[in-house]
Amino acid sequence: MNRLLYEFRLVIYLFQWVLLLAFFFFYMKAPNWDYRVFTLFLMVTSVYAVILAYAIPKKLWFLLGLIDMAIAIFFIVQTGKWDSPFMLFAYTTLLWLMLILRLEQLLLIVGLFVIVISLLPEFIDFTMILSQTRLNQLRLLLDITIWISVLFWARAVLRLMRYLYAKSYQVYLFLVKVGSVPASHLCSVTEHMIRKVFHAQQAYLCLYHEHDAEGNWKREFFLHTLLDAGADKWRRFSVQTLNDYTGKEDTYACIPLQLDGEAWGCLIYSINPKRGFYRLDRILLLFISAVICQHGKQNRARYELAQSLHNDMRRKLAQDMHDGLAQQLFFLSAQLFQLKRAIPEEIRETLAERLGQIEERIKWCHQEVRHTITHLRQFRESEQIAEAIEQLLKRMTAGTDLQIRFSAKGHVIEEELIVLDAIYRMVEEATANAIKHARAQNLSVSVEASSVQVKVRVKDDGIGFLPEEKEGTNTYGVIGMKERINEVGGTLHIRSKPQEGTEVTAIIPRRGVEMFG
């Protein structure tokens, strides 16, 4: 729209310049021609030549319009009042003043124009009169000039309509596609549309608390760059200078996205810093951001519904395990107790060791069932992974002398459930081993998230062991930890020395690192 107004004003300037030249050509042969008028004509045409060559500040447009109007009034009075061909010059001046003035200012100028044109001839006689033939020739030239100008404006309007249609059609295709696209592909579909609509080399939709299932490491880089720049505090459209993944400094348009009153993400795309923003582009960006936020609300509602069903399933499974498997293990434990009491004294010592092993195994199974039931009922119903681990450590070390030190570093952005579950169960098993076997006084647990990996470390100061002594005797807990970490593409390392404690470290790459790293 700004471009159209610029071309509209440019055509008016050219049109008025042609008018001045035409009036000069025709009126210089009129009776009583005054060469002072010739000088004034020359000055005005020179001014218009300068205006066409150099852009003047917007604050001077109003002053230029008043000078334009004064010139038009002078020549109108000199050449025939309301019948003067110079009325066309005045109309074009009013037309472009209409584009830059408020309505009340424009009405004031029109009123003053009418009053001056009506009163001034009472004091000044018009002297420059054209013959009818010359007047008809002038009017023909003016008609041709008007039609050429109208054709130029029509071409500019058609070009604007084509520009609007192209952008609107791309946005329409985006609306059609975004309704059926999976939530995991929302970012790539939006970025593709932004690049086509705004002819941007780079465009990224960065969501702060959503997992990037596509593994786009460039988007991940800009996400962390925006968070480090405090983008989650932005509330309005802004233009920011950011460094891309090559270290190159570039200018980006940034549109913050909010969901339910909180920062949800940011849409950015590269722009030319010398190019201004058109009002139409801002409207399109507001519309696109509203569509993205609405899609995010729908995805969140679907996720909350699925999470509710998932939690119901977990609670039901926990209840079934409590009413079924846990009760059966309790029954077996009671039966074993009765069996031990019923065994004759002469063979009780012979079977004591075997019965003790069976009793220990039943107790272990019962504890595992109880841990699983607790895990199903409480894990990650509302908290983030760091909060879930912290609550787990408090629950497991309650009633012990073990001192816990827990830390979480970096922006821990939501990962897939299988990754979070692997981290949670790894910490749970390593902590249980430290409590049962390590005789430790202190336990340090840390979760560090970066743009490329998540590192989880559990370290105690217990009695430790020699790794070679444990080879071939891996417990189910250690095997389970390794299998879970391997399933998510990570590695598990266990380091220990006698009297120096044990350290269990898991390194899990973020999505996209496997493909691009």
The domain that holds 207 is classified in CATH as 3.30.450
254: helix, strand or coil:
strand
Amino acid at the residue 338 = Q
Are both 499 and 423 inside the same structural domain?
A: yes
Residues 116 and 195 in one domain: no
* Together in a domain, 227 and 143: no
Q: Which domain holds residue 472?
A: 383-516
In a domain, 228, yes or no: yes
Asked if residue 282 belongs to a domain, the reply is: no
AA identity, residue 335: Q
**What residues in the chain have per-residue pLDDT under 50?**
380-382, 472-473, 512-517
The DSSP 8-state label assigned to residue 344 in this structure reads -
HSE at residue 496, side-chain half, CA atoms within 13 A, is 27
Is 59 within a domain?
A: yes
DSSP one-letter string for 260-284: TTEEEEEEEEE--TTSPPPHHHHHH
In our burial notation (b when 16+ CB lie closer than 10 A, e otherwise), range 375-401 reads bbeebbeeeebbebbbebbeebbeeee
N- to C-terminal Cα separation, the chain: 45
Assigned domain for 370 exists: no
Which residues contact residue 374 at a Cβ distance below 8 angstroms, ignoring those fewer than 6 apart?
395
CA nearest neighbour of 145 among 16, 311, 10, 318? 16
Question: Which H or E element spans position 304?
Answer: helix 279-321
Neighbours of 273 (CB within 10 A): 10
pLDDT tens digits for range 130-145? 667 776 777 777 777 7
Same domain (yes/no): 142, 238: no
Q: What is the pLDDT of residues 448-500, one digit of tens each?
A: 887 778 899 999 998 887 765 555 445 667 888 888 899 888 999 998 888 88
CA-wise closest residue to 341 among 331, 329, 355, 361: 355
- In which order are the strands placed within the sheet that holds 203-207? 203-207, 262-270, 249-259, 238-243
- Residues 188 and 152 placed together within one structural domain of the fold: no
CA 491 to chain centre: 33
Q: Is residue 245 part of a domain?
A: yes
Same domain for 154 and 192? Answer: no
Count of domains observed in the chain: 3
Residue 221 is assigned to a structural domain of this protein: yes
Burial of residue 96 (number of CB atoms within 10 Å: 0-12, 13-18, 19+): buried
What CA–CA distance (Å, rounded) separates 265 from 422?
27
341 located within any domain: no
Residue 513: predicted pLDDT: 43
In the 3-class helix/strand/coil scheme, how is 188-229 assigned residue by residue? Answer: HHHHHHHHHHHCCCCEEEEECCCCCCCCCHHHHHHHHHHHHC
User: Is residue 327 included in any domain, yes or no?
Assistant: no
Say which CATH number the domain at 449 has: 3.30.565.10
